[in-house]
């Protein structure tokens, strides 16, 4: 078998015919906005556990933009027990096609967005305070930059770990 990309319209047809839809995003992303029939199986779990497919003849994988399934096509194809597809353009394309999604705005923003907002605010504060109050505040911007570089290199993120423990993130799940 070889995994292929399909349009949102074709994916919708396959779902009506009984295909299984898997959202490979993280649980916090899935909790905030998702395609109604999608089951959440984060990309990191695929291959570690079997996909809950039952007796379906086709599976469709998606994320927000389609990049994660495309980058991991071989892994997804190997995990599929039948014909496998990637939703071209992901959830964003699904919405552009006018297809329905479930949105829960009571769920917190995705952790990655929280990290981006927090890091950006800290860097901006360091620069503004460094320019107006005390040049030592520039070190704050430098420390955040170094932390982001370390996160990118190591694949871990201390800020994300801290933010996950915040009370507003306890609603995910």
What are the catalytic residues?
Answer: 63
CA 101 to chain centre: 15
CB contact at 8 A, 3 and 84: yes
- Helix (H) or strand (E) holding 59, with range, is strand 58-62
Please count the residues of the chain.
Answer: 173
Residue 38 DSSP class: E
Alpha-carbon distance of 135 to 86, in angstroms, equals 50
Residue identified by tokens 């291959």 is 47
Largest CA distance in the chain: 65
Distant-in-sequence, close-in-space partners of 23: CB < 8 Å, separation ≥ 6: 30, 34, 35, 38, 39, 40, 41, 62, 63, 91
Question: Which residue is associated with the tokens 């070889």?
Answer: 2
């Amino acid at each position: 078998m070889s995994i292929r990309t399909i349009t949102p319209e074709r994916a919708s047809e396959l779902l009506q015919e009984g295909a299984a839809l898997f959202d490979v995003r993280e649980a916090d992303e899935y909790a905030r906005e998702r395609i109604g029939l999608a089951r959440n199986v984060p990309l990191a779990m695929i291959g570690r556990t079997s996909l809950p497919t039952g007796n379906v003849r086709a599976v469709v994988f998606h994320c927000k933009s389609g990049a994660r399934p495309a980058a991991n096509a071989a892994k997804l194809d190997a995990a599929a027990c039948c014909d496998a597809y990637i939703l071209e353009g992901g959830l964003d394309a699904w919405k552009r096609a006018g297809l329905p999604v479930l949105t829960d705005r009571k769920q917190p923003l995705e952790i990655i967005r929280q990290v981006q907002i927090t890091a950006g605010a800290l860097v901006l504060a360091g620069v503004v305070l460094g320019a107006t109050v005390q040049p030592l505040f520039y070190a704050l911007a430098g420390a955040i930059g170094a932390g982001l570089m370390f996160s990118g290199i190591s694949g871990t993120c201390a800020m994300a770990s801290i933010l996950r423990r915040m009370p507003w993130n306890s609603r995910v799940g």
